[in-house]
Amino acid sequence: MDSLKGKTTLITGASAGIGKATAYAFAKEGSNLVLIARRIEKLEEIKNDLEDTYGVKVFIDKVDVSDFEDCKRFFNSIPENLKTPDILVNNAGLAFGMEKLIEKPIEDIEKMIDVNVKGFIYITNLFVPLMVERGSGTIVNVGSIAGREVYPGGNVYCATKHAVKALSSALRIELVDTPIRVIEIAPGLVETEFSIVRFKGDKEKAKNVYKGLTPLYPEDIADLILYTATRPPHVQINEVVIMPTNQATTTIIHREENE
């Protein structure tokens, strides 16, 4: 494993779920961190815990990745040595609802596109040029199996995750003559706050998404991100699809009754 000691990892959407678990996995291996999300109070708790437990340096900022002005403010205000992370994890993302496309509230549609697609592009375009200039770095993009298939009610979310896959491929092509590697991780069902956000706080509906099966946990994805990002520099794992054992596709899921 390529050592993370003294390296810097920037993680978007680090206040919960996969992003938070990734922060813990990387801190455990000695990486300093730059963590962003909108809920700064959650990031403060994580920063204090990681600094106390692992002795790494953690820089946090309240950033809405869907707002380019806010992304620029963040980029311009962070200390110079953090502007060029060794690893960039583009993880912030969300889904809203399961309505048909023609019935979906337009503000939900815009938010998914703004966060999942534009936010990903904003952060990439701000940070990757300096990684290229330095001549090293790893980009890990959190896509989804929704970027491989379309399921009923998935419409816009699936479109945004197809975009993450397309943009990851585009970056890989465009950076082929550099040492920068581009990795896309495409998970199936992971139990995080994702479904609570999707169903706008309805915890019962959210719980049903994972009913009757053992889902993936955020730590499983963090483990995979850590693995892919720490291969020797000549190894680029282009993409990984990862699902719970009882999931075969977005819709073929084996669920035990009474669980």
Ligand X SMILES: NC(=O)c1ccc[n+]([C@@H]2O[C@H](COP(=O)([O-])OP(=O)(O)OC[C@H]3O[C@@H](n4cnc5c(N)ncnc54)[C@H](OP(=O)(O)O)[C@@H]3O)[C@@H](O)[C@H]2O)c1
**Which residues are catalytically annotated?**
157, 161
Give backbone dihedrals phi and psi of 236, rounded to 5 degrees, phi first.
-115, 115
- Rounded-to-integer distance, Cα 206 and Cα 53, Å: 32
Sketch the per residue contact string, 125 through 164, with ligand X: x for CB under 6 A, - otherwise: -----------------x-x--------------------
Q: What is the DSSP string of 180-242?
A: -EEEEEEES-B-SSHHHHHTTT-HHHHHHHTTTS--B-HHHHHHHHHHHHTS-TT----EEEE
Among 18, 123, 159, 183, binds ligand X (CB under 6 A): 18
List the 58-62 sheet strands across, edge first: 58-62, 32-37, 8-12, 87-90, 138-142, 181-187, 239-242
Residues of span 177-216 touching ligand X by CB under 6 A: 187, 189-190, 192-194, 197
* Cβ pair 83, 60 in contact under 8 A: no
**How far, rounded to the nearest angstrom, does the alpha carbon of residue 93 sit from its chain's CA centroid?**
7
253 is a site residue for ligand X (CB under 6 A): no
How many CB atoms neighbour CB 46 within 10 A?
A: 22
Stretch that binds ligand X, among 31-39, 100-108, 126-134, 235-243 (CB under 6 A): 31-39
17 is a site residue for ligand X (CB under 6 A): yes
Residues of span 58-117 touching ligand X by CB under 6 A: 63-66, 91-94, 115
25 is a site residue for ligand X (CB under 6 A): no
Q: How far is the CB of 3 from ligand X (least distance, A)?
A: 26
Q: How far is the CB of 227 from ligand X (least distance, A)?
A: 17
In the complex, which residues of this chain contact ligand X (CB under 6 A)? 12-19, 37-39, 42, 63-66, 91-94, 115, 119, 142, 144, 187, 189-190, 192-194, 197, 218
